[in-house]
């Protein structure tokens, strides 16, 4: 019974992830053609702002809250305390984000004319607040809530083809891109009420709020750092570049992100396997990681090369001649695809299983700072091309930094002279890092 529920939950989350990645990608060529590069750039900027606010309102609760709910699922009073505390903090963060967003509109050159788009995109944040997926993850009841999320996304996806017909429909395009999450949140309200049946709600005490903030802090920092040098670059580019240039970059980046998404399920499946081997046999774990570097890394190098040479045809067939400027940007970003896989293997698949979490956090924070320092001047001088090269540079930094840390720890998977787990040097480094 437990195994069947676990399989159901995995399939349910997989369905949500697939629709959240596949449906926007399928709709992208249509939107790019109908709206044009300038209007698509405006939509991309609005969605990037909403995505940042969504990350802020999520805090680290997407990982910390399910764990807390799972540990206390049989304690009705404790579940109520956790639910109320998390919902209050998320709501306050979302409200604060909305205020900051409005202020930014009036301070930066995006102008007041973009405010309607930003408010429509904010539907994504509202829907995410209304849908406490972390609650259902902790209770291990994901089947129904995943179904309503998929339904919400499908409704919004179909609406794009019915309601977006000309460049003047940019408001509808923005809302429908964000509405999938919003509709899912609304449809999930009855499920949330049912899941909390018999639970008495109460205003959370200061201790409960402090506990949830502390539990989610490290996850939030790591998530924010990763998003700064990945998805948030659209936002930074939108502050400096023209909407048309942003539209060109958005198309190229979406293609690369779709290719990177193919690695997601593979990486998620590999990680617990590496962690299990690393706990008992360092040499075997490093040998497995070395095989990943050559085989999986090699596969994505081949994919990157194919995308590099196929870029002109890909852009021409799916997006038209208006997006010809996206071709060189896409070709630069193909380097990001290959390097990001090596970065994941060295960082997530090697540093984490060997207990070097704090080293990884420092690398990610440094990468985020480096991205901000390089991105703005690069975009100012070179536009989308500068943005693409910064993406490549930051991924190279993450991969090389992770490999450097592994080398000094005696855990370089590419070296022929690995230390065994009983080696005092490696053990002391790992132990010291865990203490930090």
Instruction: Mention every residue, 6+ apart, whose C-beta is less than 8 A from residue 306.
Output: none
Compute the Cα dihedral for 235, 229, 271, 289 and give only its sign: positive
Q: Quick one: pLDDT band at residue 210, thresholds 50, 70, 90?
A: confident
Span 308-320, average pLDDT: 92
Span 282-299, average pLDDT: 87
pLDDT at 160 over 60: yes
Inter-residue contact 208 to 81 (CB < 8 Å) = yes
Span 298-312, average pLDDT: 93
Which residue has better confidence, 204 or 176? 176
Q: Which domain does 189 fall in, by range?
A: 2-217
pLDDT at 34 over 90: yes
Instruction: Mention every residue, 6+ apart, whose C-beta is less than 8 A from residue 291.
Output: none
- DSSP-assigned states of every residue in 70-107: HHTTT-HHHHHHHHHHHHHHHHHHHHHHHHHHHHHHHH
pLDDT at 113 over 60: yes
Give the 3-state DSSP-derived string for 357-397, with helices as H, strands as E and coil as C: HHHHHHHHHHHHHHHHHHHHHHHHHHHHHHHHHHHHHHHHH
Q: Are residues 209 and 273 in the same domain?
A: no
In angstroms, rounded to a whole number, what is the distance separating the alpha carbons of residues 130 and 329?
37
pLDDT at 174 over 90: yes
Inter-residue contact 199 to 76 (CB < 8 Å) = yes
Average pLDDT, the chain: 83
Burial call 150-180: b when 16+ CB within 10 Å, e when fewer: bbbbeebbebbeeebeeeebbbbbbbbbbbb
| pLDDT confidence of residue 127 | 87
Q: Are residues 267 and 353 in the same domain?
A: yes
Span 72-89, average pLDDT: 84
| pLDDT confidence of residue 5 | 64
Inter-residue contact 116 to 123 (CB < 8 Å) = no
Instruction: Mention every residue, 6+ apart, whose C-beta is less than 8 A from residue 292.
Output: 270, 345, 349
Span 91-103, average pLDDT: 88
| pLDDT confidence of residue 111 | 61
In angstroms, rounded to a whole number, what is the distance separating the alpha carbons of residues 371 and 395?
10
In angstroms, rounded to a whole number, what is the distance separating the alpha carbons of residues 185 and 95?
17
Q: Is residue 131 part of a domain?
A: yes
Q: Are residues 154 and 99 in the same domain?
A: yes
Q: Quick one: pLDDT band at residue 425, thresholds 50, 70, 90?
A: very low
Instruction: Please report, rounded to a whole number, the percentage of residues in the chain having pLDDT higher than 70.
Output: 89
Q: Are residues 206 and 261 in the same domain?
A: no
Nearest residue to 331 via CA among 362, 300, 306, 295 = 306
Q: Are residues 167 and 289 in the same domain?
A: no
Span 412-432, average pLDDT: 52
* pLDDT tens digits along 327-355: 999 999 999 998 999 998 888 888 878 87
| pLDDT confidence of residue 428 | 42
Q: Quick one: pLDDT band at residue 362, thresholds 50, 70, 90?
A: confident
| pLDDT confidence of residue 351 | 85
Q: Is residue 239 part of a domain?
A: no
pTM, two decimals, is 0.80
Domain count, the chain: 2
Q: Are residues 262 and 212 in the same domain?
A: no
In angstroms, rounded to a whole number, what is the distance separating the alpha carbons of residues 391 and 373?
12
Q: Which of 33-42, 174-183, 213-222, 274-283 has the lowest mean pLDDT?
A: 213-222
Instruction: Mention every residue, 6+ apart, whose C-beta is less than 8 A from residue 115.
Output: 102, 105
Q: Are residues 192 and 307 in the same domain?
A: no
Q: Is residue 122 part of a domain?
A: yes
Q: Is residue 324 part of a domain?
A: yes
pLDDT at 105 over 80: no
Q: Using the 8-state DSSP alphabet, how is residue 168 labeled? A: G
Inter-residue contact 16 to 185 (CB < 8 Å) = no
Span 270-276, average pLDDT: 72
Burial class (CB in 10 A: 0-12, 13-18, 19+), 200: exposed
| pLDDT confidence of residue 10 | 65
| pLDDT confidence of residue 4 | 65
Q: Are residues 152 and 271 in the same domain?
A: no
């Amino acid at each position: 019974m437990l195994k069947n529920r676990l399989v159901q939950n995995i399939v349910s989350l997989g369905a949500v992830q697939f629709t959240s990645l596949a449906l926007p990608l399928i709709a992208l060529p249509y939107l790019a053609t109908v709206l044009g590069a300038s209007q698509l750039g405006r939509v991309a900027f609005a969605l990037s702002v909403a995505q940042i606010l969504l990350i802020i309102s999520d805090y680290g609760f997407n990982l910390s809250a399910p764990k807390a709910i799972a540990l206390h699922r049989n304690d009705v009073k404790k579940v109520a305390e956790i639910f109320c505390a998390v919902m209050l903090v998320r709501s306050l963060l979302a409200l604060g984000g909305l205020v900051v967003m409005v202020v930014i509109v009036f301070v930066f050159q995006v102008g007041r004319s973009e405010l309607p788009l930003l408010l429509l995109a904010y539907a994504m944040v509202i829907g995410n607040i209304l849908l406490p997926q972390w609650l259902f993850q902790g209770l291990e009841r994901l089947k129904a809530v995943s179904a309503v999320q998929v339904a919400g996304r499908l409704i919004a996806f179909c609406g794009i083809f019915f309601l977006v017909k000309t460049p003047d429909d940019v408001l509808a395009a923005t809302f429908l891109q964000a509405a999938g999450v919003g509709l899912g949140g609304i449809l999930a309200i009855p499920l949330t009420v049912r899941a909390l049946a018999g639970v008495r709600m109460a205003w959370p005490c200061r201790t409960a709020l402090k506990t949830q903030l502390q539990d989610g802090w490290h996850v939030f920092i790591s998530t924010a750092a990763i998003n700064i040098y990945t998805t948030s670059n659209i936002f930074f580019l939108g502050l400096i570049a023209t909407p048309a240039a942003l539209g060109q970059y958005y198309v190229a980046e979406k293609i690369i992100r779709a290719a990177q998404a193919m690695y997601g399920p593979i990486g998620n499946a590999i990680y617990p396997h590496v962690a299990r081997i690393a706990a008992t046999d360092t040499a075997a774990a490093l040998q497995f990681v070395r095989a990943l570097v050559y085989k999986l890394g090699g596969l994505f190098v081949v994919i990157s090369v194919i995308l590099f040479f196929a870029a002109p045809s890909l852009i021409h067939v799916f997006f038209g001649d208006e997006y010809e400027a996206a071709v060189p940007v896409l070709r630069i970003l193909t380097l990001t695809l290959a390097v990001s896989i090596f970065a994941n293997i060295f960082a997530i698949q090697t540093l984490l299983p060997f207990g070097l979490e704090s080293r990884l956090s420092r690398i990610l924070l440094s990468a985020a700072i480096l991205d901000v320092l390089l991105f703005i001047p690069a975009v100012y001088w070179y536009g989308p091309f500068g943005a693409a090269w910064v993406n490549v540079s930051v991924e190279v930094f993450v991969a090389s930094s992770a490999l450097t840390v592994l080398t000094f720890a005696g855990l370089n998977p590419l070296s022929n002279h690995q230390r065994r787990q009983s080696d005092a040097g490696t053990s002391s480094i790992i132990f010291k890092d865990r203490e930090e």
